[in-house]
Structure 1
């Protein structure tokens, strides 16, 4: 199952920040008590990453080993982190550190009593170097359990500069302008948007950006916690707004049927592949990696983005996702595990992966120069400057039965809505019924 977090494909992510002089070599950043202080110890780490992402994270772990002497062993869990980690705990083989990809899973782990609070040193780094929202998403009942090391910017609309130039349109500032620009692109011979409707998670991201902008952050937070019902008028309004796009067969490559038969990589291919069918594709910063790695596009020239535009009179949304490092109570090496998180909280650690590519950090002390291209720097800058207005992916905050299961819950109901967007109110009622059951369970 391909989630829309930061673990999608080789070029997956991008988020932010600003590296201080100490991370650039001006002075050593200590981790766990100084150079080689942990020689002879081994830390086991589990996370969803594989392929290029796993290799790049290993570079970060290797930097920690170089600094402290501690060895590391990384195990890829695949997408079902909760099940894999739970079975390891039951078998007496719990990893020391887990990279958790969803807020909902972090809360689940904490509520099961699996997690150790993070050290005072890590908490001080988070307080000083991260926007408060990242501490909020890493905390449960006021205790900090998770350090957000890697993030994704999910409010980016990617486009072919050639397609927009040929249509004579510029990147829009509002949602209405985006639909109007899309119509002009469509009139020029290409569909406006490629929509990955086969992957339900992309549709939740569409909804979340529209809802955050149109309804505002307070209602977004309430809906994410299911303190606001999905039958609320604000949800119906957002679905109505989204339905205007979904029902316009000229705007979507292949129409609704074509969208429902297009997965995420396919949606990128329809814009940046050898035979373009559309001028724009909405998804997170990780689109850039796919365009570059799979289709040879030069990011910034052949592929670019504009921020997801403001809807109605709202502010432009900034929706994010990310992977948080947590320390397990049943891990065998608590001290070294806490030292690893203290290191991951430094700009030095983030710089290692930023230089390798396919990465964004919520650490605002990371120097933007650490990123390898102007587009990634722009994405990172957008994320960092959003500060506390960043909101974590709503479906990643929900129970998996509602927000993260293929063929069920929000994913399926929004696919049904894409197929027939004529009844926003009815769709809202179905979403509420599914959410109520999932949150109760």
Structure 2
């Protein structure tokens, strides 16, 4: 941890230990030792004994660039404590291909950072993923809420350690566009429609939708569906206990379709949206020559805005929560990456337990572009108010559910070219089409993906 970040942490601990429920209890030294003892070791003992000296452990994930560099700092810290040599292998967008080929060759990575509970469940069913050891489970129970523990659990057995989280119920907007149109951030979906119309009347497209990538369209559906149908039906739909032809699905599709079909709401219209990638969409709103006022996508939009260097996050580039639909609210769709063991070696489980600690999360959190749901992480490490607010929302949400498409079989919702992606792209291309027909096509694809006869 940097000296400045360490000072912020010490100040925060001194000010809030007695009053803040998620703040650390006792001194930082006591907590570090207690959590590491729960994982079956102490940092000092490991560093002194080098208990894993000469052993190598490999972690595979999809992260590249700055995310990879920051995660490698976490792995180096583990190596310094234990003497183990830790190597990170990036699979990028082809992580599943990398893992499958390594499994076929009999040499899987020791740990894989998996962003999809549905994929985790498939690996657990085949025995490729290994159950978390008792010390890992103890560390997860000590640091994460039951809800987040459940996201990494299959058949009552813990496999995944939550590490990086995503807040996927966020709409980003340009403050100057809203000021020029004389509008404020909406709190309901009807207000979003009214604000969008006012923006169009003022001469700017309301929303950029990155339809070319497919996955953002599933996020649209999930936010609308959770609020319209409620958490129980959401959970049932995620595991195909509820058919996609259910009236609640049809109504969610209809709600989305009405917005997508509204004249000039979408930058370039529906056809233009289908040619817009996620990276392009951020530039359309926050680039040097912006053409749109809003963009729906997760907290990681902030990182892309910063890369463009035109608008400052928190000042010129702001966000508001996904607006309530049909009088509901307080719901949040989350995503994230969980560490999953593919070997049962002691050093593997030691690393898994370390990734469950607030110390590991702090190394990435203080560098930005990262949210943690570790309840014992001192939030003073976050580098700015926007990131802090997004992380706090994940911890305080009244109703929290994981990204639905990521909980389905990969062929349906969790991979490039998945059926849900393609069918929602087709609906975007013709948003005036019958949503019941789209729902029937989704049900046909889901039945095949879930193995229905």
In the alignment, is the contact (CA less than 8 A) between 2:140 and 2:353 conserved in 1?
no
- In structure 2, runs of 5+ residues without a counterpart are 1-20
Spell out, residue by residue over 1:69-100, the C-alpha distance to the aligned partner (whole angstroms, 9 max, x if none): 22201111233333322321332322211111
Deviation at 1:390, TM superposition (A): 1.4
* Correspondence for 2:301: 287
Match status 1:425 vs 2:439: no
SS at the partner of 2:304?
helix
* Correspondence for 1:391: 401
1:267 corresponds to which of 267, 275, 281? 281
1:56 corresponds to which of 46, 70, 87? 70
Deviation at 1:407, TM superposition (A): 4.1
Determine the C-alpha separation between the residues in 1 that align with 2:95 and 2:446.
22
In the alignment, is the contact (CA less than 8 A) between 2:159 and 2:341 conserved in 1?
yes
* Correspondence for 1:321: 335
Root-mean-square deviation (Å): 1.8
* Correspondence for 2:129: 115
Pair 300,97 (structure 1): closer, same or farther in 2 beyond 3 Å:
same
* Correspondence for 1:13: none
Instruction: Work out which of the two has the higher radius of gyration on C-alpha atoms and give 1 or 2.
Output: 2
Could you tell me the TM-score, scaled by structure 1's length?
0.91
Deviation at 1:369, TM superposition (A): 1.1
SS at the partner of 1:79?
helix
Deviation at 1:406, TM superposition (A): 3.9
Spell out, residue by residue over 1:398-424, the C-alpha distance to the aligned partner (whole angstroms, 9 max, x if none): 112111344451111111111112211
* Correspondence for 1:41: 55
Determine the C-alpha separation between the residues in 2 that align with 1:255 and 1:177.
20
Determine the C-alpha separation between the residues in 1 that align with 2:359 and 2:416.
37
Match status 1:256 vs 2:270: yes
Determine the C-alpha separation between the residues in 1 that align with 2:367 and 2:80.
18
In the alignment, is the contact (CA less than 8 A) between 1:208 and 1:393 conserved in 2?
yes
SS at the partner of 1:116?
coil
**Aligned 1:346-365 pairs, distance under 5 A:** 346-365=357-376
Determine the C-alpha separation between the residues in 1 that align with 2:61 and 2:329.
34
* Correspondence for 2:7: none
Deviation at 1:58, TM superposition (A): 0.3
Pair 140,177 (structure 1): closer, same or farther in 2 beyond 3 Å:
same
In the alignment, is the contact (CA less than 8 A) between 1:19 and 1:348 conserved in 2?
no
Match status 1:194 vs 2:188: no
Could you tell me the TM-score, scaled by structure 2's length?
0.89
* Correspondence for 2:228: 214
* Correspondence for 1:20: 24
Determine the C-alpha separation between the residues in 2 that align with 1:67 and 1:407.
42
Determine the C-alpha separation between the residues in 1 that align with 2:171 and 2:22.
24
Determine the C-alpha separation between the residues in 2 that align with 1:22 and 1:48.
36
SS at the partner of 2:171?
strand
Match status 1:81 vs 2:85: no
Pair 192,358 (structure 1): closer, same or farther in 2 beyond 3 Å:
same
Alignment coverage as a number of residue pairs? 421
Pair 201,27 (structure 1): closer, same or farther in 2 beyond 3 Å:
closer
In the alignment, is the contact (CA less than 8 A) between 1:269 and 1:295 conserved in 2?
no
- In structure 1, runs of 5+ residues without a counterpart are 1-16
Determine the C-alpha separation between the residues in 2 that align with 1:18 and 1:62.
27
In the alignment, is the contact (CA less than 8 A) between 1:355 and 1:371 conserved in 2?
yes
Determine the C-alpha separation between the residues in 2 that align with 1:56 and 1:24.
22
Determine the C-alpha separation between the residues in 2 that align with 1:23 and 1:213.
41
Determine the C-alpha separation between the residues in 2 that align with 1:295 and 1:26.
41
2:107 corresponds to which of 72, 75, 93? 93
In the alignment, is the contact (CA less than 8 A) between 1:193 and 1:278 conserved in 2?
yes
* Correspondence for 1:342: 353
Pair 25,157 (structure 1): closer, same or farther in 2 beyond 3 Å:
farther
Determine the C-alpha separation between the residues in 2 that align with 1:187 and 1:56.
44
Deviation at 1:19, TM superposition (A): 5.9
SS at the partner of 1:198?
helix
Deviation at 1:64, TM superposition (A): 1.0
Q: Which stretch of structure 1 is more off in the superposition, 360-369 or 115-124?
A: 115-124
